[in-house]
Chains A and B, each alone.
Chain A
Amino acid sequence: MLEIKNLHVKLEEEDKAILKGVDLTVEAGKVHAIMGPNGSGKSTLSYVLSGRDGYEVTDGTALLEGEDLLEMEPEERAAAGLFLAFQYPVEIPGVGNMTFLRTAVNAQRKARGEDEMSAADFLKVIRAKAKDLKIDAEMLKRPVNVGFSGGEKKRNEILQMAMLEPKMCILDETDSGLDVDAMKLVSDGVNALRDAGRGFLVITHYQRLLDHIKPDVVHIMADGRIVKTGGPELALEVEHNGYAGILEEVA
């Protein structure tokens, strides 16, 4: 599904390398987790894959189902099936949540040469999906993320993911700012989307989220590289020994 090879990235404005040769392959139907200390390059990886400005790829490739992601505009990557759940979802005043989502869904459909979804169909689908995430009609009507609590913003991200039905989902520290109940709700939302045709890359600091979203593969990232890869037990090791122990071990 997602194939990253030898990815080197530096900040555009300063000559600072952030990713120093990332190799990672996420298969369809699998959940991969990336853990790592602050500043290891986890969030940069998610931004580079989704096409945010400010980064320069100096070497390497990233393919989504064989297509070169790095050559595409952000909206083309989205239409190709990539989704990033933001660590800090952005507030957009004056644009209704529902309007925004319908615009996004139909823009992607149009880009793929599919028919647009009718207003009635859209309403029916979003109501059902919103209900599962305990998002009420009021929240759907309000401007995108404006005045939402931390938990509401993250639930809104998952709702977008559910509506857009991407092939490859990247979750960037979706657990940050969530209490236990919200984490359960968000995780249930993600688990409901687990599917043989869909890949997940879950970026997190803590093992806690991985109790709810059980990964198939766990990677440890440090200083711009994947330094260790293992099964779910690797996340438990981080929980018990911290990153320091693992980093010493691979040094």
Chain B
Amino acid sequence: MALPKIKQDATEARLSALDLPEGGWSARARGEALARVRAMGLPGARDEYWKYTRPDTLVGAEAPQAAVFDADEMPVFDAVDRLKIVFVDGVFDADLSDDLALEGVEIDRLAEARDIHWAQDLYGVLEAKGQSPVERPLAALNTAFASDGLLIRVTQTPSKPISLVYHHRSEVSDAILHHVVKVEAGAQMTLLENGPAAARFNKCMEVDLADTARLHHVRTQGRDHERRAATHIFARLGTESVFKTFTLTVNGVLTRNEVVVEFTGDDAVAHVAGACMGDGDFHHDDTVFITHDAVNCESRQVFKKVLRNGAVGVFQGKILVKPGAQKTDGYQISQSLLLDEDSQFLAKPELEIYADDVACSHGSTSGAIDDEGLFYLRARGVPRGLAEDLMTIAFIAEAVQEIEDEGLQEEIVGRVEAWLARRRS
């Protein structure tokens, strides 16, 4: 079916502003991804999947300007013993990065194109698979045009996490990065991400977990307020593998985080969680699609949004249970804490189930701070403002607890406390 003219024009306008990188081994995948983009067209305001989030600034030929943000606090994972890899406005920075060497892990850069590479079997492959049944054109655009990214293959559990750190130095930077993470059988790794990436950031990460592999992913987005970001994670889970991803988002005029998970092996676990803190001109969209195509897998989606001064939160979450995916355990909760009447939470939970022996539940709520808890704290002498902050921490706790490591949980809560404290004073 031909695209509507207006969509075709918008897509070509964006494409004309981009150059296909020299791909080497990835050239073919990039060419195919470009064809996908042209076939699908970039998202438009009338697309059902973009009903609650305006895509125009994400797909426009030029990135809207975004002021460079300099934080007055220590970056979030600086205290963690880690292998640090830095991108400045989407450009790898060797001076700021550690050597890309970690026992048990092979790390290469996408930009260092060679003729053959293990990532050839994954790059753009999981993304392409994730285009059905719902189209994600920005991810295909990413596969075609990504300027760089990391190709991480974990063969043995490394001694420390890999930490991707982003810096934003240019008001007009328009970064497209694409990472591929493959964890081999029996290995596990923690992957951290933090920092403002660019004025506009399109990021895609493909994750392939072999049988019994584990990946823990913890990322923060913020406090660079004016940036726009569209991110995708495509994860494929083998038998008895575990994938846990958590995202804390603070500030940001526009963020859309999509997570697409497919269970292909039995007895695997995926936890997808996030908390966001929005104040004022803030629009945050979590869009999740989990496909159960294996037996006895567990998926959890836990999303909490704290919204004030007209901030907008969106959640679109789907659990698809395919025929034969018996003993599926699917859980989904999306909740918002609306700190005033101007803020808005839009939720579209969906379940589509074609197997008969499954347990799936979902819930979505919007509400104010719990009065009982607030009174309890105040009755102990905690002043109202601080008591409200503690109740806000309590509200996001269920999502934060999806992070396995207690130290990382504390890092995240510390950031939220600081965000709240800045607004109280």
On A, residues with C-beta under 8 Å from B are: 50-53, 73-75, 77-79, 84, 86, 89-95, 100, 103-105, 107-108, 111, 143, 160, 164
Contacts of A73 in B (CB 8 A): 378, 384
In-complex Cβ contact of A108 among B375, B376, B381, B398 (8 A): B381
In-complex Cβ contact of B390 among A53, A91, A92, A105 (8 A): A92
Give min CB distance, B406 to chain A, whole Å. 10
Known: A92-B373, A94-B413, A95-B390. A78 touches B397 (CB 8 A): no
Q: Mark B398-424, 1 if CB is under 8 A from A, else 0.
A: 101100000000000100000000000
Q: Is B353 an interface residue (CB 8 A)?
A: no
Could you list 19 A-B pairs, sorted by A, with CB under 8 Å?
A78-B379, A78-B380, A79-B381, A89-B376, A90-B372, A90-B375, A92-B376, A92-B377, A92-B391, A93-B398, A94-B395, A95-B394, A100-B377, A100-B382, A103-B382, A103-B386, A111-B383, A164-B380, A164-B381
Contacts of A53 in B (CB 8 A): 371, 375
Contacts of B67 in A (CB 8 A): none
Contacts of A89 in B (CB 8 A): 376
In-complex Cβ contact of B382 among A52, A86, A107, A143 (8 A): A107
Contacts of A50 in B (CB 8 A): 379
Contact B379 A93 (CB under 8 A): no
Known: A75-B378, A93-B397. A100 touches B384 (CB 8 A): no
Contacts of B393 in A (CB 8 A): 94-95
Known: A93-B398, A100-B390. A160 touches B380 (CB 8 A): yes
Contacts A75-B382, A93-B397 known; 11 new A-B pairs at CB < 8 A: A73-B384, A74-B379, A75-B379, A94-B394, A95-B390, A95-B394, A100-B380, A104-B380, A107-B381, A143-B394, A143-B397
Contacts of B413 in A (CB 8 A): 94
Give min CB distance, A165 to chain B, whole Å. 11
Contacts of B378 in A (CB 8 A): 51, 73-75, 78
On B, residues with C-beta under 8 Å from A are: 371-373, 375-384, 386-387, 390-391, 393-398, 400-401, 413
In-complex Cβ contact of A86 among B376, B391, B397, B398 (8 A): B376
Contact B397 A94 (CB under 8 A): yes
Contact B373 A90 (CB under 8 A): yes
Contact B381 A90 (CB under 8 A): no
In-complex Cβ contact of A107 among B373, B383, B396, B400 (8 A): B383
Contacts of B375 in A (CB 8 A): 51-53, 74, 90
Give min CB distance, B17 to chain A, whole Å. 44
A73 to B413, CA, bound (A): 28
Contacts of A111 in B (CB 8 A): 381, 383
A111 to B375, CA, bound (A): 17
Give min CB distance, B335 to chain A, whole Å. 12
Contacts of A103 in B (CB 8 A): 382, 386, 390
A226 to B387, CA, bound (A): 34
Contacts of A77 in B (CB 8 A): 379
A50 to B319, CA, bound (A): 46
A53 to B372, CA, bound (A): 10
A150 to B188, CA, bound (A): 40
A160 to B384, CA, bound (A): 19
Known: A53-B371, A93-B398, A94-B396. A104 touches B381 (CB 8 A): yes
A183 to B375, CA, bound (A): 26
Contacts of B382 in A (CB 8 A): 75, 100, 103-104, 107
Contacts of B390 in A (CB 8 A): 92, 95, 100, 103
Contacts of A75 in B (CB 8 A): 378-379, 381-384, 387
Contacts of A92 in B (CB 8 A): 373, 376-377, 390-391, 394
Give min CB distance, B380 to chain A, whole Å. 4
Give min CB distance, B325 to chain A, whole Å. 31
Contacts of A107 in B (CB 8 A): 381-383, 386
Give min CB distance, A188 to chain B, whole Å. 22
Nearest 3 A/B pairs, CB to CB:
A94-B397, A78-B381, A108-B381
Closest Cβ neighbor of A112 among chain B residues: B381
A100 to B383, CA, bound (A): 12
Closest Cβ neighbor of B391 among chain A residues: A92
Which of A73, A100, A104, A143 has the most B CB atoms < 10 Å from its CB? A104
A75 to B379, CA, bound (A): 5
Closest Cβ neighbor of A85 among chain B residues: B379
Contact B400 A94 (CB under 8 A): yes
Give min CB distance, B373 to chain A, whole Å. 5
Contact A84 B379 (CB under 8 A): yes
Give min CB distance, B116 to chain A, whole Å. 48
